[in-house]
């Protein structure tokens, strides 16, 4: 039986109380929400916090709020709430694509978007989703709040830029006109970590050319989005030939490691193919959004 090392436990009552507790107990304190990432690491003694600060009573961090130019999501929003949100599905179908392949219903009912992002696992689906959607992380600490891009928030595998006394409170997704997005994942079995996954977000200009694009890969050693693959699409009419070139460049940029999920060549092949697929679907969704906007206008 795997048993965590001894720790103390306290339940925070408000955001300010949680921050005060983090500040008081120092760098050996950890926040727990759903617990599906932290608790297994504690059982293996890969993580040995002296204090666990439970934030499940912070209901003010559980929200999905659409605004004119952005979608605001509280850090305590459960995966199942994101999956069931009509606003999320309408604005960012990539989130629905990803949530459908995250673990299983038990995890989705308890796990939170904030917990997923703070874990900073290289195989985490929502990290790639937030990268390609150019999301911002809203962080609060004793000295107030700050806004971080995903590149600034994630410093590397299992590492964020959160100070020991700071709390991720919100994620903001910018809403762009004539946009579409998609995510696709290959896994050994349903609910497993990705062998490889890809995400893309595309915004079209009024003439149908690619105004902006972001491409990200999961579980192949990359941080952020892939500039080389994105550059070939910007300002161009989306075509299958360009999707193929972007897929080739994404595969070349990837840095997969051979493991029980597959050899390097296989993972690079998946990076190529999945990049093509998500670009194709993201552009189809962007064209549909453009058509809807034209009809409404």
> 241: Cβ–Cβ under 8 A, 6 or more apart, which residues?
none
Q: Which structure tokens are listed for 214?
A: 């972001």
Per mean pLDDT, which range of 71-80, 219-228, 229-238 is the poorest?
219-228
Q: Report whether pLDDT(117) > 70.
A: yes
pLDDT tens digits, one per residue of 167-202: 999 999 999 999 999 999 999 888 788 999 999 999
Report, as an integer, the average pLDDT of 1-5: 77
Domains, the chain, ranges and CATH? 8-54 (3.30.43.10), 60-174 (3.30.465.10), 179-296 (3.30.390.50)
Give the pLDDT of residue 290.
82
First-to-final CA distance of the chain: 63
| 198 and 269 Cβ atoms separated by less than 8 Å | no
pLDDT tens digits, one per residue of 254-295: 999 999 999 999 999 999 999 999 999 999 999 999 877 655
Instruction: Quote the CA–CA distance of 133 and 96 in Å, as a whole number.
Output: 13
Instruction: Report CA Rg, the chain.
Output: 19
Report, as an integer, the average pLDDT of 237-249: 98
């Amino acid at each position: 039986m795997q048993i965590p090392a001894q720790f103390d436990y306290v339940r925070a009552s408000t955001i300010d109380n949680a921050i005060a507790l983090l500040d008081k107990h120092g760098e050996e304190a950890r926040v727990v929400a759903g617990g599906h990432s932290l608790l297994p690491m504690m059982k293996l003694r890969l993580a040995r916090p002296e204090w666990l600060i439970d934030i499940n009573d912070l209901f003010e961090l559980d929200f999905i709020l659409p605004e004119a130019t952005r979608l605001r999501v509280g850090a305590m929003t459960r995966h199942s709430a994101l999956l069931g949100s009509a606003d999320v599905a309408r604005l960012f179908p990539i989130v629905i694509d990803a949530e459908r392949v995250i673990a299983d219903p038990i995890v989705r009912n308890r796990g939170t978007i904030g917990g997923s992002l703070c874990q900073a696992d290289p195989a985490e689906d929502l990290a790639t989703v937030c990268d390609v959607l150019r999301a911002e992380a809203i962080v609060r600490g004793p000295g107030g709040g700050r806004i971080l891009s995903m590149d600034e928030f994630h410093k590397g595998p299992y590492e964020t830029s959160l100070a020991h006394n700071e709390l991720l409170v919100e994620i903001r997704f910018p809403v762009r006109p004539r946009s579409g997005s998609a995510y696709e994942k290959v896994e050994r079995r349903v609910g497993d970590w990705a062998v490889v996954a890809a995400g893309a977000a595309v915004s079209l200009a009024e003439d149908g050319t690619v105004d902006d694009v972001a491409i990200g890969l999961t579980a192949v050693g990359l941080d952020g989005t892939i500039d080389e693959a994105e550059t070939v699409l910007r300002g161009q009419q989306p075509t299958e030939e360009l999707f193929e070139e972007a897929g080739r460049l994404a595969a070349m940029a990837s840095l997969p490691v051979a493991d029980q999920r597959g050899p390097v060549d296989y993972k690079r092949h998946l990076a190529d193919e999945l990049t093509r697929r998500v670009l194709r679907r993201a552009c189809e969704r962007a064209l549909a959004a453009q058509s809807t906007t034209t009809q409404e206008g």
